[in-house]
Amino acid sequence: MSKREAFGHEGLRQEVMGGAPLRSADDLVAAGLASPAEHAGLARLAETFAIGVSRPLAALIDPNDPADPIARQFLPDMAELTVLPEELGDPIGDAARSPLEGLIHRYRDRVLLKLINVCPVYCRFCFRRETIGPGGDAHLSAEALAAAFGYIAEHREIFEVILTGGDPFLLSPRRLGEVVTRLAAIDHVKILRIHTRVPVAEPSLVTSALVDVLRKARQSVYVAVHANHPRELTPDARAACARLIDAGIPMLSQSVLLRGVNDNVEVLAELMRSFVAARIKPYYLHHPDLARGTSHFRLSIEEGRALVRQLRGHLSGLCQPQYVLDIPGGFGKVPLGPQFVSDGGEPFQAEDFSGASHDYPPRAL
């Protein structure tokens, strides 16, 4: 498959090391990540949901471990063909909050700008799995992009623009630079945030040219990197993040709480500590969305709260993510964190990390 066939657009970048990503049942069998007996089922699954595993992530998979947490995130599973009644094609309501193609205006002071519909890897739990990958335009058209810039310029309440997709870091530095330059002309936009998996999935794409584009931006730039297991933060991934951070670009983390991947306190704690050690501030820990065919990943909210409660006693404040639920229908995120203080009036009951309860203010001795 050529670069143009893979990405549908000359401005998108094929990885420069390690070969093309695995994008079919044939590729998975050839790489030893699926057996020939699984081929027919995986090919049928690929007709509904895209397959895509970058070579750096494929190299982390232990094909002899049926519970491998990297494989679980990225290798297709026939369980995805089980779709529950409550699961949705657009689980967080992007369409309901989209005034223009490629633009989502869910919160008053910020918008999402979806520049591209391709990722370096296709997560099996992705909330945009219906729109990411083969079957649509790879990138936002020039006309749609111009309309989006016009909308942002007209709405002076927009303080922050979040570049998403797909993965904006798959755009060439030149094309990403064009977007950054257009946004620089909109004075009321003060923050540019970019959501990406590239530093983990294709770290070689975090080049000096890409870093220079962001370093020269007029707005304050933040990069949010997505990783769910500490093994994803390889030396190459940490080096890619360091190239951004050393250029003065702060990084945040986003993770999804996933059954069989990070649903125990030891793995979650190691993941959050690994972020902080790499100078990445833990930001969101998402409760998994109700995307079609993803029920095998979901924990209950009660299970998630119990895990986050345990983190409070294991980790410093620097390492604490905010556990959130994206309300289906486009109504935004709400925190799900456990309650440590009663709301029954004074004296409040404050529970410490070991489970002991204390009066606040303390009763007179």
State yes or no: is 236 an active-site residue.
Answer: no
Pairwise CA distance, residues 158 & 183, whole Å: 12
State yes or no: is 197 an active-site residue.
Answer: no
Q: Using an 8 Å Cβ cutoff, are 320 and 339 in contact?
A: no
State yes or no: is 107 an active-site residue.
Answer: yes
Instruction: Give the SS3 label for residue 164.
Output: strand
Q: Using an 8 Å Cβ cutoff, are 34 and 28 in contact?
A: yes
State yes or no: is 273 an active-site residue.
Answer: no
What sign has the CA pseudo-torsion 338, 340, 343, 344?
positive
From the list 68, 90, 167, 326, the catalytic residue is 326
From the list 289, 292, 319, 323, the catalytic residue is 289
From the list 68, 72, 119, 292, the catalytic residue is 119
Pairwise CA distance, residues 154 & 35, whole Å: 54
Instruction: Give the SS3 label for residue 357.
Output: strand
From the list 3, 190, 215, 333, the catalytic residue is 333
From the list 13, 77, 97, 123, the catalytic residue is 123
From the list 107, 151, 279, 281, the catalytic residue is 107
State yes or no: is 126 an active-site residue.
Answer: yes
From the list 3, 110, 279, 281, the catalytic residue is 110
Render 179-230 in DSSP notation, one character per residue.
HHHHHHT-TT--EEEEEESHHHH-GGG--HHHHHHHHT-SSEEEEEEE--SG
State yes or no: is 110 an active-site residue.
Answer: yes
State yes or no: is 62 an active-site residue.
Answer: no
State yes or no: is 151 an active-site residue.
Answer: no
Pairwise CA distance, residues 168 & 164, whole Å: 6
Pairwise CA distance, residues 354 & 338, whole Å: 14
From the list 23, 55, 106, 114, the catalytic residue is 106
Tokens 């930001």 label which residue? Answer: 283
Pairwise CA distance, residues 238 & 278, whole Å: 6
From the list 114, 126, 197, 298, the catalytic residue is 126
Pairwise CA distance, residues 214 & 168, whole Å: 12
**Mode of pairing for the β-strands spanning 110-114 and 103-107:** antiparallel
Q: Is 37 exposed, middle or buried (0-12, 13-18, 19+ CB in 10 A)?
A: exposed
357 torsion bin: left (phi>0), alpha (psi -120 to 50), beta (else): beta
From the list 55, 128, 238, 298, the catalytic residue is 128
Any idea which residues carry the catalytic annotation?
106-107, 110, 119, 123, 126, 128, 289, 326, 333
